[in-house]
Amino acid sequence: MKRGTAITISIIVSVLFAVFFIYPAGMVVKQAFEVTRPDGSSHFTFEFFSAVFGNPIYREGLWNAFTLGIVSTFATLAIAFPLALIGHRYEFPGKSILGVLVLAPMILPPFVGAVGVKQMLGVNGSFNAFLIDCGLMQAALPFDWLANGRFTGIVLMNALHLYPILYMNIAAALANLDPAMEQAAENLGCPPWKRFFRITLPLAMPGVFAGASIVFIWAFTELGVPLVFDFARVAPVQIFDGLKGLDKNPIPYALTAILLVVAAGVFAISKFVMGRSPLGTAPRPKARSAALVLSPLKSAACSGFFLAIFLVASIPHLGVILLSLAGRWYGTVIPDVFTLRHYTEALGNGLVVPSIQNSLMYAGCATLLALAIGLAVAWVVVRSDLKFRNTLDAIVMLPLAVPGLVMAFGYLALSQEGKAFHFLVGAGGSPFLLIVVAYAFRRLPYIVRSAVAGLQQSNPVLEEAANSLGATPLRTLRRVAIPLIGANLAAGSILAFAFAMLEVSDSLILAQQAQHYPITKAIYTLLGTLGNGTELAAALGVWAMVFLSVAIMGAAVLGGKRGGLFKV
């Protein structure tokens, strides 16, 4: 019977995935290869790809997206690796608080952060004003810190936003190392730095690659940040701009298909070639390595490093907060006049309140849906003996490899009149179901990973005991299995919920009417509004920040092992 349930769940989940994930992604690829004649017939073609690669603007867009992805990933790595290693090895004052503070970037949607960064580091921003005030810069010759076609600004924003993901992955990889491995090397006479390169780094490599591949895919397909920086020559923005004439212009399909192939390729390489764990099926370490206590000077340096990263990472937050409070702010270090007007005004704005309600509804329902599917998948993966279970585990991780933009694009195309997903569009063009499904499948990996981790740690004998005492399988799940992994599930859900609230691609592309806008699209729309639109957006961004910091702290407290949630 158990086997039957497992088979049923596997089939249902596979079908759902085929319909709501593989089909839309596949549809995008198919459209990219298909030309439709006026008479309605269609045939296979490479002409859109030759159009893309033949056009210097698209070539540049793809190249920019790719280099943005690579440079952002290395910048992220440069921040995250030292952080994780120092945190793993040494004890220093304020370690636990600083360890949470460096996660600060996660609470701000990156494109909102970009607004703040512009305010702080732009030509007329705070930093230049500060330098001018100090006499270090001539007012007539301000320096553009975000220069180079805004490329630098985007990399900075990506790195500052994405390093926590990599940091948590590497930290988790290091924490899962059996300290005996390093101790054995030490015992055999290997000095610390050599130990790092010969033992620690090779063993932590899967974590590094797993995190780096997520960061790359994220940066490579980032839509919000380049939009805010008005950087149009990057593929995701070109796709977004091409949406309006979609029925006539198939170029966006081709671009999207290229993004998908590159992203999936990077994911596959990281997972199957580079990221193969040399530990294999080594048992879980029983002990944790004790952090080393350093001399006061050195430990102060460690604290200082964490604090510095936190401060730099807070620049966007600071910019957004100041902006939301600014009555007037141009060319000065801090605003000339402070006011709470934007907050009160935001509440009266026709976009703001509905967008908060919409986002809560979308993200809440999506999380519940993802939780139900994720729990079922995790149960099959951990508790059943189906051969298919490892495949299932790999399938549900795929959303990490497929850019949000690709999915959003596929959903949009399929929800048109007469297409397969049109039934998901509610009365009055409500994208409610569409967005909920899109959010849920994209966030599924977080829930599956946390539920799998929980189930693996809880002994199946505890469930068997309940069974033998007369509890039905369903009651066993409710009274024993779920309470035991409750913390894991809560942590995964909160994360999924928070990311759904912050979602950009699906939100910007699928919500087309103002009354259905989620928060992110409301912010984006406000940014483009004349008058005090930017300040209103900042005020809304601050609310989102407060909300997300509470959510993520809750997840951290419940989840305990923060890194586990991001492991691929």
The 404-443 site mask, x for binding another protein (CB under 8 A), equals ----------------------------------------
The 449-468 site mask, x for binding another protein (CB under 8 A), equals ----------x-xx-xxxxx
The residue (of 264 and 557) whose beta carbon lies closer to another protein is 557
| List 1, 134, 297, 427, residue binding another protein (CB under 8 A) | 1
| Cβ 384 to another protein shortest distance, Å | 14
Q: Does position 390 bind another protein by CB under 8 A?
A: no
Q: Does position 7 bind another protein by CB under 8 A?
A: no
The residue (of 183 and 457) whose beta carbon lies closer to another protein is 457
User: How far is C-alpha 88 from the geometric centre of its chain's CA atoms?
Assistant: 24
Indicate the burial class of 201 (C-beta count within 10 angstroms; 0-12, 13-18, 19 or more): middle
State the greatest distance between any 2 C-alpha atoms of the chain, in Å, as a whole number: 82
Total residues in contact with another protein, by rule CB under 8 A: 20
| Cβ 468 to another protein shortest distance, Å | 4
Contact set for another protein, span 466-485 (CB under 8 A): 466-473, 475-476, 479-480, 483-484
Q: Does position 356 bind another protein by CB under 8 A?
A: no
| Cβ 475 to another protein shortest distance, Å | 7
CB 115 within 8 A of CB 534: yes
The residue (of 1 and 290) whose beta carbon lies closer to another protein is 1
**Number of Cβ within a 10 Å radius of residue 415:** 22
The residue (of 334 and 465) whose beta carbon lies closer to another protein is 465
326 forms beta bridges with 338
| Cβ 84 to another protein shortest distance, Å | 31
Spatial separation of the C-alpha atoms in residues 228 and 238, rounded to whole Å: 14
Give the pairing of strands 292-293 and 90-91.
parallel
CB 229 within 8 A of CB 150: yes
Spatial separation of the C-alpha atoms in residues 32 and 63, rounded to whole Å: 19
Spatial separation of the C-alpha atoms in residues 441 and 374, rounded to whole Å: 10
Alpha helices in 289-431 (DSSP H): 296-313, 315-325, 341-348, 352-383, 389-397, 404-414
Q: Does position 4 bind another protein by CB under 8 A?
A: no
Q: Residue 40 to residues 32, 37, 416: CA-CA distances in angstroms?
A: 16, 5, 17
The residue (of 131 and 471) whose beta carbon lies closer to another protein is 471
The residue (of 72 and 476) whose beta carbon lies closer to another protein is 476
CB 537 within 8 A of CB 345: no
| Cβ 383 to another protein shortest distance, Å | 12
Nearest to 440 by CA among 377, 519, 356, 517: 377
Q: Does position 244 bind another protein by CB under 8 A?
A: no
Contact set for another protein, span 484-503 (CB under 8 A): 484
| Cβ 312 to another protein shortest distance, Å | 42
Q: What tokens were used for 464?
A: 């068997």
Spatial separation of the C-alpha atoms in residues 454 and 489, rounded to whole Å: 8
Specify whether the backbone of 40 is left (phi greater than 0), alpha (psi in -120 to 50) or beta.
Answer: left
The residue (of 249 and 457) whose beta carbon lies closer to another protein is 457
Q: Does position 283 bind another protein by CB under 8 A?
A: no
The residue (of 243 and 386) whose beta carbon lies closer to another protein is 386
| Cβ 455 to another protein shortest distance, Å | 15
The residue (of 422 and 478) whose beta carbon lies closer to another protein is 478
91 forms beta bridges with 293
Spatial separation of the C-alpha atoms in residues 517 and 504, rounded to whole Å: 11
Q: Does position 223 bind another protein by CB under 8 A?
A: no
The residue (of 241 and 464) whose beta carbon lies closer to another protein is 464
Spatial separation of the C-alpha atoms in residues 538 and 522, rounded to whole Å: 11
| Cβ 476 to another protein shortest distance, Å | 8
Q: Does position 287 bind another protein by CB under 8 A?
A: no
CB 169 within 8 A of CB 208: yes
Q: Does position 554 bind another protein by CB under 8 A?
A: no
Spatial separation of the C-alpha atoms in residues 68 and 225, rounded to whole Å: 11
Contact set for another protein, span 29-58 (CB under 8 A): none
The residue (of 275 and 559) whose beta carbon lies closer to another protein is 559
Binding site for another protein (CB under 8 A): 1, 459, 461-462, 464-473, 475-476, 479-480, 483-484
